[in-house]
Amino acid sequence: MDLYEAGIELRGTEIKSIRAGQISLSEAYVRTNGRQAWLVGAHIAPYDQASVFNHDPERERRLLLHKREIKALWDGMRLKGMTIIPTQLYLSDGLAKVEIALAKGKKQYDKRQAIKKRDMEREVDRALENRRR
C-alpha cells in the first residue's frame, strides 16, 4: 500500500466547514486521468453562515499532486488494477491535506471469509455472554 499526501483545491466556505470538522470521507474515492486527480464523493457540509455564497457539498475537488505522483497513481490503477482511496483528511499549517493510498481491494472469496470469521466471533461472544448470566 503506497501512501501520498495531497493538497485540495477548495472554495472559501469549504475550508471553514473542514475546520469545523464537518466532512465525511466514507464514500469518497480518487479518480485520475493521468494528468490530474480529483477527490470524488467526499461530503463537506455547507457552512451555516455563508447563506447564498455556499458551496456544493458533493462537488469533485481537484487534488494537488506532483506529476510523478499522479503518474504513479495512474500506472497503479491502470496496470495493476488497484484503487485510490482517501484515508484521512487533516490540517497542516492552516492548509487542508488529504492522505491517499493506492491499495488493492479484497477478492470476493476474501470477503466471504471475513464475514464468516466475524459471524463466528459474534456467536462465541453471545455464547459467553449467555453463560455468564
CATH at residue 20:
2.40.280.10
Cα 131 to chain centroid, rounded? 41
pLDDT of residue 81: 83
Convert the pLDDT of each residue in 81-97 to its tens digit. Answer: 889 999 999 999 989 99
Mean pLDDT of 3-16: 90
pLDDT of residue 108: 76
Q: Is residue 73 part of a domain?
A: yes
- Among residues of the chain, what percentage have pLDDT more than 70? 100
Q: Is residue 117 part of a domain?
A: no
Element (H, E) at 98: strand 95-103
Q: Is residue 122 part of a domain?
A: no
Residue 109 has pLDDT above 80, yes or no: no
Q: Is residue 66 part of a domain?
A: yes
Q: Per-residue DSSP letters for 6-48?
A: EEE---HHHHHHHHTT-EE-TT-EEEE-SS-EEEES-EEPPPG
pLDDT of residue 118: 92
pLDDT of residue 53: 75
pLDDT of residue 9: 93
Q: Is residue 133 part of a domain?
A: no
Q: Please give the C-alpha separations between residue 127 and each of 113, 115, 118, 119, in angstroms, as whole numbers.
A: 21, 18, 14, 12
Distance CA 74, CA 96 (A): 23
For the chain, the domain total comes to 1
Q: What is the DSSP letter of 65?
A: -
User: Across-strand partners of 7?
Assistant: 64, 97
pLDDT of residue 104: 84
Convert the pLDDT of each residue in 16-62 to its tens digit. Answer: 889 988 999 999 999 999 899 999 999 998 887 877 778 888 889 99
